[in-house]
Each structure stands twice: as structure tokens, then as C-alpha cells.
Chain A
């Protein structure tokens, strides 16, 4: 465990140094992300403009949901580049150089490069939205709420990682996964609004089958004291289940790689 912590630290440091080699790219990464941020913030503005309530949630509450969506986007941006590179590593055989290292292959392949510019923008903006919403909505700031929220964010990260790794693993078998990637990536944006605005069936699918809604909605519901115990169990269970699926699929993929290529 300590080895992996130190390794993660080293990888983050190396990634950051690599990105700083191209300062302009780093800055423009931040800038482009700020442009996209403007699009997301537009939705916040609309909610306040109309003064709409979603169920019992006021615009302040909705801002928390959007804030979590922005923050989680930032976390995903930290490592998503690795996912997109899996296909490339399989095709060029670059994977071989990592197969011989005494370290978990899934770890080193999926969490090797960390991209900071996009993370920084999203994490900052997301945190501000969450804190502002929390404050304005007059929600209590207790140890349980904060700790529970942070814990659920952790679960959400595990869920994002697992859920988005799965389609990318297909690149072990097929060369281009472009179309599928796009659709799954687009699903992410459904979280730009709290899931309560979608129809019953869409909610059910988004919570239980392709649990993208769990990622941003559940931590928010917890802050507001609206997460029912059953849903709390699912907020913890879904990441575990999907991580196991991703893990099994990963092992199959690597086994296939070792048997089928030359």
C-alpha cells in the first residue's frame, strides 16, 4: 500500500513536470476548460433566472448538484487520458514494457498519466459552487454531513473509474471504439442537471443499470439529508460491483492479449 502511495506521488510529479514542459499547452488547457465551464455555468444562471424548484430543491440546492457534476468532471479528467491510450498501447505493444514490471498492470496502465490543467479548473469551480450552494441553502455543516459527503465522493470516483474503464477495455479486442466512447461520454453530461428532471424510466436506468446518476446525485442528496438508507447502500454497492466487473474484464483482456498476440 505504501509502495502504491509513493508510486502515485511519483507518477503525479512526473506527469506535472511533463505538462509544464509545454507551458503554453498547459495554460491553453486551462483556458479551453474555462470556456466549457462557461457553458456549464449557464445552466446555473438559467436555474436562478427562472427560480425553479425541482421537487423540494431550490436553485441553491440545484447549484450543489451542478457543483458536484463539475467537480467530478475534474476528477475524471485527471486520469481519463490513460483510458483513451489503452487501444494505442495494445496496438503498438507498448503494454509489454509494463507487463514485466512488478506492479499491478491495471494500476500502471490506467493511472500512469495525470492531467492537471483540466482538473484544476473544474475542481476549483466545482468546489466553489458546492460551498456557495451549501451556504446559501442554509444546510447544516456537521461532521457527519461533511465526512459522509467526502466518503460518497470517494465512492463516486471509484464508480466513474470503473464505469468508464469498461467500454475502453473493448479496445483489447476491437481496434476502434470511437462511437461507443462518444455515447458513453455524452451520457456524462446528463448530470448537468439533477436527475429528478428526467422521466421515471430514465432515472431507473441511470441509477441501476448504467449508474451515471449515482455519481453526482447521491453525494448531493446526502448533504441535503435526502439520501434514503437503501440508496446509501447502493451508493457504496454500485462502485464495488462495477469495480469487480471492470477488474474481471481487465483480467480477461490481458489474458487474451497474452494468448492471442505474438
Chain B
């Protein structure tokens, strides 16, 4: 059963053009040229209960705007959405209790106080009883490894620790649905991994439905089975992640290490050379017949080590964007 149903969502907003300088400002005072921009043109998708889906797309594609509409922050210009049985932009309190949104760029914690004080405020806002509150805090702080940080002022926390606290604050009322907008932005690799690990575990345990946007492909690869790719306000792809690679034509990437220097010319006969420097080379090969090609390479070149991998997701997605760009 779908918990989130989005149909033909569209969001336009108008803005003014301003010529630079004071003259431009004065001109604007009397005559304003109103321009309309479509942040989201036509978006439809649905999410099943307990699913984690990744919302991907370049900057300005409309990811954040979509999430804001699904959380009721913005009204759409047209189109429908039902989230957990509610129309988000009616902003019913019953709806607000069912979901949570974390935005990597904004914080809801009180800067000068320990995070636990902000949690307590959320307890009051969401009317959570003491027992459940204590239980939730204990469990989540354990999982997120922030137990000892509960009494440290937020301003003294590192970026990664702060993000963990933001996530904790968002989960205090045990939402069914979680929207995460760039939750790992600016974090170091270790913090990113920790947060990913937590989200995966939490999703498995609680069956929380999660929509995630991120710049980091690893976030998406590790967490989502499915991706919805948006480009210029439209859905250009909506399927499992593994299919993206199939879509790209079945190719593999072969990374080779040699015992002596090799030139690109020597590699060229075997496949498309992606990179070649001194004792390292990267080749792109069709999946079919890869065994014979491999055997060929091993017998003719001084190979020391090799690895075979899928084409990185980034590249596949970039290709989808490019195709979409060419079409429109």
C-alpha cells in the first residue's frame, strides 16, 4: 500500500528582475517586471510503506521544493499529493505528528543550550508522555552514539554531532515518515557512514518510510533500493538503482595494475581506455565476452592485480541528465 502518492505536482513562483545599481532600484520602484519560474514542473511518484527512496537531481532540479510541498511548508500551484492519508498543505496537526523533516542546512536546536533541552521542547510540542520520551531518547542516543554529548551546548558540537542531534530531535515523536534533505552535507566520511548506518537500522526496525535527497551518491547507493531522478522539475527516472546500470547498456569497469609502465596504445585493442598512467589503467568493457577479453589481457600484458566493478552510479545518472537535457 502506498503511503505517499504524488500526482502531477507543480510549483511556480514569481520573482522580480532588478538591474544592478541604484538606478535599477529606482526603476523597480515604479515598474517591476514579474517573471515566473517553475521550480517543479510535473512530478508524480508513489512510495510504499517502509521504503527508502532517493530523490536525485542536480542543484535547482526541484528536490527541496518537492520535499517542502510534501511536508506542507509550501502550497503547490497545481497537482495532488496524499501523505499518510493527509493532504500535506492542509497542515492538520494530526498530519504533523506523523512525519518529520530534517534539512541539512537548517537547524531547530537551541544554539546555546545542550541538545537535550531542545528535545524536551519537542516533547512539549508533540505532547509525548514521559515514559515514551525517556525511552526514545535513551534508545536513539545509544544508536547514534551521542549519549555523552547530551549535556554539551549545541554550539560546542562538531557538525557531525550536531546533525545526529538534529536527526534525534526529528525522531522524538516516532514519525511514520521521514524526509531528509541533504542530511550528510558537509560531513566527514566517518560521520556520513555513521548516519547512514543508523538510518538503515532505524528503517529496518521501525519500518519508517524515508525520502532522502543527497549530493553524495554513497548515501543513495547504501540506503535506497529505489531512486526517483528529477531534472528541470520533472521525473526522468523512477525505478530500482540496479536498473540504472542496466539502462546504461551492460558495461563493466576493469582496473588494472601492471609490473611495468604501459602505454594507452597497448591497452586500446581490448576496450575503451578511460585512464592510463604509468603502471595503472582503467578500461571499460562490455559485460558480454568479458572473460575472453580478460584472459587475453592477462596473457599479453604484465598484469599484477585487477578489479572488476560496475559503472559508478554517478556516471549513469549524469548520463540520464544529459539525455534529458538533449531531449528538452
Contact = CB atoms under 8 A, between A and B. Distances in A.
Direct touch of chains A and B (CB < 8 A)? yes
Contact of B13 (A17, A21, A22, A260): A260
Interface stretch (A48-56, A97-105, A211-219): A97-105
A22 B94 CA distance: 38
B136 interface: no
Interface size class of B (residues with CB under 8 A): 35 or more
B72 interface: yes
A100 B124 contact: no
A96 B121 contact: no
Interface in B116-153: 117-118, 120-121, 124-127, 153
Contacts, number: 80
B197 to A, nearest CB: 25
A7 B113 contact: no
Secondary structure at chain A's binding surface: helix, strand, loop or mixed?
helix
A101 B73 CA distance: 10
A7 B108 contact: no
A97 B120 contact: no
A103 B110 CA distance: 18
Given A99-B73, A258-B75, A14 B101 contact: no
Given A10-B121, A14-B113, A101-B125, A96 B73 contact: yes
B106 A96 contact: yes
Contacts of B100: 100
Interface string B83-107: 0000001010110110111010011
A7 B91 contact: no
Given A99-B71, A100-B100, A262-B68, 20 more contacts: A7-B124, A10-B121, A10-B124, A14-B110, A14-B121, A97-B107, A99-B72, A100-B96, A101-B125, A102-B93, A102-B126, A103-B93, A255-B75, A258-B74, A258-B75, A259-B75, A260-B14, A261-B13, A262-B13, A262-B65
Interface of B: 11, 13-14, 37, 39, 65, 68, 71-75, 89, 91, 93-94, 96-97, 99-101, 103, 106-108, 110-113, 117-118, 120-121, 124-127, 153
Across chains A and B, which 10 residue pairs bring their CB atoms closest together, nearest first?
A102-B96, A102-B93, A262-B39, A97-B108, A18-B112, A21-B112, A262-B13, A7-B124, A10-B124, A258-B75
